[in-house]
Amino acid sequence: MNGIIVVKWGGSCLSSPENVLLAAKKVLREVQRKRRVIVVVSALAGVTDQLLSYINKSMSDSVVKEDLDEILSMGERTSARIMASSLKSLGMKAVEIDPTSNLWPIFTDSQFGNANIKMKETKGAVNKRIIPLLLEEKIPVIGGFIGLSPEGKITTLGRGGSDLTAVVLGNCVDAEEVIFVKDVEGILSADPKKVSDTQKIESLDIDAAYSLVVAGAKIIQPKALIYKKDNMVLRVVGFDALDLSGGTIITGELETGLNAKLFYSPLSMITLITHNSSLENVSRILSAVSTVNGEMLGLTVSPTSILLYIYNPSNLVQQLHEMIREEEIAKAIHCVDSLAMITVSGYGIENIPGIIDIVVSPLSKENVNLYGAFTISSSITIFVPWDEREKALLSVNDVLNKYKKM
């Protein structure tokens, strides 16, 4: 069965009765295009915060976590009922699915407040309960953010958990697209609350999207991205768009295990001891790199030094030394050649306590010198002697094996 899409409506898009009806009309348009639609809804705008406020003000002590999840789930459960009724008013065969229903498909562990999906149980439930509804041309309407524990208690999936619901369902039904409807036209070049004249990005590969969200961009819950299949498009589209096309698409599939990979060629580490590491000095140094067609693979800056990790440095050292003599961009320069670059990457690396120590500690046991390390997004890059690259790579991958997730 093909032509399946999952449409997830953010709470800000359901901020009024008029908006709910407009959302339902957009679903109708997709149905008229012969697409089979699963609808996932967040709580109506402001409801979750209102529930939290009531809880905090009405309790003499902290609320039990499983009670909190039960209460917070009411936002999405109410939203699902309203959306299903709106769809029915337009003549569609909508089926509102509540956690108390025998049609409920999302199952988790018992980590209340930030539960993890139990994929085997969820996929089995989707095949048994949701696929037959789609075959009958019905529209399942499911409250996002909610799961059921093995004990049958309501759990929640953490901040942004409705995104996770939508992508997991898309994964289970092999959806063509999972569409996130938001109050902005797509993924923007910057936060519109902080920057004017932002631009919509037409497309992103999933690694770039993941880098954005783990840095704090409120696009899609980071955990949701690990469930995206390679052949499934994620689309972020604005509520004000005419239909559910356009916006920004996210393509590709994350590597979910932690892996160490070796850069294919040796490189050089150039150290400049500086009077100061001003932006002007850094800019002049980078301009010199570009003139020799070197490829910069890493840069670290401290108040008294600048380190460049360069592939194919050519005569860069000579050129920089001339700039030291003539322009006084630094006090001295030193270069170490024949270094290997090993990059450790994978989903959730930033959530592993002591991950940098985990990566570098095997090197000391193997008597491998470390010439530098830096982190960015969901990766750690280290530099070791080229002639010890294989030993270093093997030792790092060995210690990472127990952290592989999927």
Q: What DSSP string runs through 26-63?
A: HHHHHHHTT-EEEEEE-PPTTHHHHHHHHHHHH-SSPP
Single out the residue in 222, 251, 280 at which a domain terminates: 251
Beta bridge partners, 306, equal 272, 301
Is there a single domain that holds both residue 219 and residue 339?
Answer: no
Max CA-CA distance within the chain?
79
- Spatial separation of the C-alpha atoms in residues 189 and 258, rounded to whole Å: 29
Give the residue carrying structure tokens 């997830």. 8
Same domain, yes or no, for 367 and 271? yes
Contacts (Cβ under 8 Å, ≥6 apart) of 394: none
Pair 299, 163 in one domain: no
Domain check: are 277 and 350 in the same one?
yes
Instruction: State whether 222 and 318 are in the same domain.
Output: no
The per-residue pLDDT string of the chain (406 residues; one tens digit each, 9 = 90 and over) reads 679 999 999 988 888 999 999 999 999 999 999 999 999 999 998 888 888 888 888 877 778 899 999 999 999 999 999 999 999 999 999 999 999 999 999 999 999 999 999 999 999 999 999 999 999 999 999 999 999 999 999 999 998 999 999 999 999 999 999 999 998 899 999 988 888 889 999 999 998 998 888 888 888 999 999 999 999 999 999 999 989 999 999 999 987 778 889 999 999 999 999 877 778 878 888 888 888 877 888 888 888 899 999 998 888 899 889 888 888 888 899 999 999 999 998 777 777 778 888 889 889 889 999 998 888 767 899 999 999 999 999 999 888 887 654 4
Q: What is the distance between the alpha carbons of residues 11 and 94, in angstroms, rounded to a whole number? A: 19
Closest residue by Cα to residue 297 from 345, 339, 253:
339
pLDDT of 218: 85
Residue 165 in contact with residue 145, Cβ under 8 Å? Answer: yes
- Give the domain-ending residue among 196, 229, 251: 251
> What does the pLDDT read at residue 406?
40
Is the domain of 214 the same as that of 274? no
Same domain for 265 and 238, yes or no, is no
The Cα 120–Cα 354 span in angstroms is 31
The CATH number of whichever domain residue 357 belongs to comes to: 3.30.2130.10
Same domain, 290 and 356: yes
Number of domains in the chain: 2
CATH number reported for the structural domain that contains residue 218 in this entry: 3.40.1160.10
Residues 59 and 185 in one domain: yes
Question: To which H or E segment does residue 382 belong?
Answer: strand 379-385
The verdict on 234 and 285 lying in the same domain is no
For strand 267-273 and strand 332-345, is the pairing parallel, antiparallel, or unpaired? antiparallel
Q: Taking a C-beta distance cutoff of 8 angstroms, is the pair 8, 181 a contact?
A: yes
pLDDT for res 72: 94
Residue 119, token pair as written in the block: 């994929």
238 with 334, same domain: the answer is no
pLDDT at 197: 87
- Expressed in angstroms, the distance from the first to the final Cα of the chain is 27
The last residue of a domain, from among 214, 235, 251: 251
Question: Does residue 241 share a domain with residue 371?
Answer: no
Nearest CA to 6 among 165, 231, 187?
165
Q: Are strands 203-205 and 248-251 parallel, antiparallel or unpaired?
A: parallel
* Neighbouring C-alpha atoms within 13 Å toward the C-beta of 29: 12
Count helices and strands in the chain by DSSP H and E runs: 11, 17
Domain that holds residue 381: 259-403
Which amino acid is present at 297?
L
